[in-house]
Amino acid sequence: MNNNHSITKKWQENNPNATGVWGERIYNNGNLNDETFLKKNLLFPIPRDEMNTNIAITKNNFGY
């Protein structure tokens, strides 16, 4: 669904091999089941203020 956006379609027309950091982030070289790819791209970072005030949080989400 996210890859069906008009901006993404236009980019794909101009760069059909999906090269570059942005392409790797969207397509992960065709491997969308890679665990590290999913962990990093499906979780947001925990805000610094929350980490500073909540002692239960010991580290940020994967990739941040």
- 35: tokens are 């665990």
28 and 2 in a common domain: yes
pLDDT of residue 54: 94
- Tell me which residue range forms the domain holding 51: 34-64
* Residue appearing with tokens 């570059």: 20
Q: State the average pLDDT for the chain.
A: 75
My answer on whether 38 and 18 are in the same domain is no
* 3-class DSSP assignment, residue 17: coil
pLDDT in tens, 37-54: 777 777 788 999 999 999
Mean pLDDT value across residues 15-21: 61
pTM, two decimals, is 0.42
The answer on 39 and 19 residing in a single domain is no
